[in-house]
Amino acid sequence: MSGNSLLDRLPQLPLILAGPIVRRVESHRVTVWVALQRPSLVTLKVYSTQDGAGLVIDRQIFQGSQQTISLGKYLYLVAVTAKPIQSEGLDAEKIYAYDLDFGSAEGSLISPSVNPHPISYFDHKLPTFATTPINPNHLRIVHGSCRKPHGSGRDALSMLDLLIEENAYQPSLRPQQLFLTGDQIYGDDVANPLLYLATEIGDTLLGWVEQLPFQRSSDSETIYKEARNLLPGQRSDLVRDYGGFTAMLPNQPDKAKSHLLSFGEYVAMYLLVWSPILWPQEFPQIPDRLLSAMGDAKDKAAKIWQEEVFALGNFCTHLPRVRRVLANVPTYMIFDDHDVSDDCYLNQQWCLRVFGKPLGRRVVQNAVLAYAICQGWGNTPEQFELGKIGNKLLDATVKWSQSQGSDESDWQAIAHYLSMPKIDPKTGLPLFRSDGDVFILDSDALDEGNYLSWNYHLVDRCFEVLVLDTRTWRGYPLIDEANSQEVNQVENLDDVSDRLPILLSPTAFDTQIRQCLARTQNSGIPITIIVLPTNIESLWLIDVIQQWHLSKGRVFESDVGDAWNLNKKGFSQLLATLFEQRDRIVVFSGDIHYSSAVRINYWAKTSDNIQSSKILAQLTSSALKNAEQKTYIINTKVKALAPELPQDWAGWYGIPKLVEIQTIQERVKVVDVPILEEPPVIKQIRSHWSNGNIAWEITVSDREQFPDWRYRIEWMRRQPAKESVRQKSDLLVKEMQTADHKRWKNLQKLVSWLWRNRWLQDGEEAIGYSNFSLVSFIWSEATDGDKIVVQDVYWRSPWQHKYIVYSRYYVSLKLDNPPPQIREISQFKLP
């Protein structure tokens, strides 16, 4: 990018390249993350405001300083934590302001040379945040997932800025926390111009160029290449053949055509999606060397480049508002697949494919390292304190970067701290270790019992949040059934089965759920929230597609293996574990590019044979920016032609099985999973013909053998959309005017009018436009029936573009009475 290169632009850019992002906020600790172009001792100061309303700065109450870490010549990062100056902590339901001091030569957040753009909602120009309440009725939490810069739809995070602006003075109405529940960046699905920009930014900020290892097979020579010589739009075959990645395997090579590879590219992507500072005024034209590489397809390549430039221009336009959101709401994040690559840790075969290749291992470690520094540090700052393992990771990263990536010992230290899997020197494949009845990836850090955790537990005044890691702690099958081979003996990847993983291994169930819930069992906290990157329950059509792909062995299509309800054992274990110590659970999930609300009634036998009642509310919010044509359709009344019907399921504690049931009074039809092979003990079986099929009627020996637990799944209907906020002019995105568009302009107007009319668009179940969700509660301590969780989903109206609308879901948390006991079970199957 000669003439408009980052190196030429850096002297004119402010000190702050990205941030500030206010991260973890607790009563006696506040952490803020920031990225700078020069080193600094950063001091975080937190101020109270008069009457807790944010308008007038009162006095300083917190302070903390920390030196930035050097990731490169022009890149310095820090997550600085402030603590009370005396003993005074943060009060509930108040607005606090904060400032960052970078030394006398630099100034603070209100200095133009540090930060030329407004990041405050107040005249004092300082960013603020609202603390959580004691009363659950005043709790306001926002969540959302899947934000792809060139994805379809409008960036919902910029819409959130308008909502905060409207309620900036009211701590009980403005969001007190924001949870980004997956795919904060897309490491695999990158627009060609954005990769071109990220490569240059990464190399420039680091001040050195990473050497990436390429080796086609274990007995072939390893050669090294630089990311800047691996052109945008040309990486699909490279990452498949040399990295083992699977993003392009379902016949979608465009999904990995510009896959991120280097550490610099991954870090640059975070800076680009969170801040407008590093974006150029204009994108360059498609490079000549890329056109030359395309040959006869150069016209198509030029068209794709221009379309993606247009989409990225719209995305960049909204970034000042996104930056202000992140500076003013405590933000929590989760580890998900696209932060590395699509299908990351999906199944056993993915692990063997990717970790079995030098490039695959290198790219995963680059991505996870970038995640640790840009996301994990702010989630759990205590892991990065002096002497802790996170701090050792930071030290090793600084040394590795100072050696310009040449120090292998530092690179191995980083791998150790990130719990990268051990590699078998004979086969070059990753090693596994047993964990109960499954295998997990093995690492030296597990031997020491000292490793960085991506899961965490947030305990607040009236609620707690458990953020789970369902990627690195998956349980894989012990034995390949087809060949009776243990995983660590596999030498040919074609011999590896694609059986479904369990999304949490037995150890993970214990450490991430049981132990966390036990710590707060008697705390009196009324609300427990679980954050998952994938849904517990999905649309029936998605289940059908995934089951079909699984039956055909197409495990890298439609995220087969990411769904909890596809693995019946893991699904039932999750529910049982969550309800061991809690009667009510609220789940935040994303990943699937639509929003919805689901209620699960759960009944289980206690030790004295009494049926206890539990409730789980699944609140899904996706995508922040990655809507698709298929999700637009489910947004409409067309979806009402195939509504989500209630489901009834039953199971046994002693049998890791789950059966779908249809209950008519006291008779139950078993639809799924044979039960003839194992207990319950069968007393009598008789068969007869029923509608051309053999019907097996099973009588169980005694009452104790009937299902130990049952649950019912119900999809909530959303209320009609209501107007919320009138959009500002900078949120009205321009449509790309191509020659084809102009030619069919009148027809498109007619089709657009038919498609965008409100009657069709305002459906009843899911919301498929880019959106975010605001969660609140109606909570009565006196009346059990008056406990309700409310999800307001905000999205840009397709029938009135000047307005952001919201649609409301109510999910009752009332503990319903258990259904009648099952007396008779019938199973119907084809002869």
Pairwise CA distance, residues 342 & 352, whole Å: 15
Pairwise CA distance, residues 348 & 346, whole Å: 7
pLDDT of residue 565: 77
DSSP state, residue 81: E
Domains along the chain? 6-131 (2.60.40)
pLDDT of residue 675: 40
H/E element, 144: strand 141-144
Structure-token pair, residue 56? 């007038």
Q: What is the DSSP track for 551-602?
A: HTT-TTSTTTT--GGGSHHHHHHHHHHHTTT-SEEEEEE-SSS-BEEEEEEE
Pairwise CA distance, residues 559 & 499, whole Å: 13
Four-residue CA torsion sign, 247, 249, 251, 257:
positive
The residue written with tokens 């008519």 in the block is: 664
Pairwise CA distance, residues 232 & 214, whole Å: 18
Angle of helix 358-371 relative to helix 263-274, nearest 10 degrees, comes to: 30
pLDDT of residue 485: 47
pLDDT of residue 829: 35
Number of Cβ within a 10 Å radius of residue 676: 10
Asked if 34 and 19 touch (Cβ cutoff 8 Å), the reply is yes
Pairwise CA distance, residues 707 & 719, whole Å: 36
pLDDT digits (tens, 9 = 90+) for 63-94: 999 999 999 999 999 999 999 999 889 999 99
H/E element, 737: none
Angle of helix 192-206 relative to helix 263-274, nearest 10 degrees, comes to: 110
Asked if 82 and 29 touch (Cβ cutoff 8 Å), the reply is yes
Angle at 122 between CA 120 and CA 128, to 5 degrees: 55
Cis peptide preceding 250, ω within 30 of 0: no
Q: How far is CA 317 from CA 144, 199, 257, 280, 683, in A?
A: 20, 21, 25, 12, 70
Helices and strands (DSSP H and E) totals, the chain: 22, 35
Pairwise CA distance, residues 178 & 141, whole Å: 6
- Helical ranges in 207-317 per DSSP H: 236-241, 263-274, 288-294, 298-317
Strand-strand pairing, 485-486 and 479-480:
antiparallel
pLDDT of residue 656: 39
pLDDT of residue 104: 77
pLDDT of residue 18: 97
Q: What is the DSSP track for 766-801?
A: -B-SSEEEEEEEEE-SS-GGGEEEEEEEEEE-SS-T
pLDDT of residue 828: 39
In degrees and rounded to multiples of 5, residue 560 shows phi and psi of -60, 125
pLDDT digits (tens, 9 = 90+) for 390-433: 999 999 999 999 999 999 999 999 999 999 999 999 999 999 99
CB neighbour list of residue 677: distance below 8 Å, 6 or more residues apart = none
DSSP state, residue 512: I
Structure-token pair, residue 758? 């409100």
Question: What is the end-to-end Cα distance of the chain in Å, rounded?
Answer: 69
Four-residue CA torsion sign, 569, 572, 577, 580:
negative
Which residues in the chain land under pLDDT 70? Answer: 1-3, 478-498, 607, 609, 652-707, 726-752, 784-785, 819-831
